[in-house]
Amino acid sequence: MNQDQSRSILENIERSSHQDLSAEVVALAVAYARIRVDWLLAERSVRRDLEDKRTRAHDAFIDSLNILSRAESRFGGDIGWREQLGTDRKRIGDFACQVHALLGLRAG
């Protein structure tokens, strides 16, 4: 997934009429991305300890995307962004990292 695709998906999420759910998606994306980087930079012994935390954060992020998508669908909102994102765990995790990067660039 390239940065333009990620930006488009993020903008659709942020336009949601369910702002509380949208904010949760973004917060969980950032939390997961931080853990993913911590895991990458950690020593092997520490990585084992971070595995469960990383998986739980990833699952929570995916759940938040699904919850927002269902809420949007119930009220006739556009869920094309969720279909575009797909179900591949790595792709969804990469998207979380893209969200973190895009927010960092916005803040600059």
Give me the amino acid identity at 98: Q
pLDDT at 108 over 90: no
Count CB atoms within 10 A of the CB of residue 78. 12
- Write out pLDDT tens, residues 28-77: 999 999 999 999 999 999 998 899 999 999 999 999 999 999 999 999 99
In the chain, which residue ranges form alpha helices assigned H by DSSP?
3-14, 19-41, 44-74, 80-85, 89-107
Q: How confident is the model at residue 3 (pLDDT cuts 50, 70, 90)?
A: very high
The pair of structure tokens assigned to 11 is 């903008």
Average pLDDT of the residues in 4-18: 96
pTM exceeds 0.85:
yes
Q: How confident is the model at residue 1 (pLDDT cuts 50, 70, 90)?
A: confident
Q: Looking at residue 21, what is its pLDDT?
A: 98
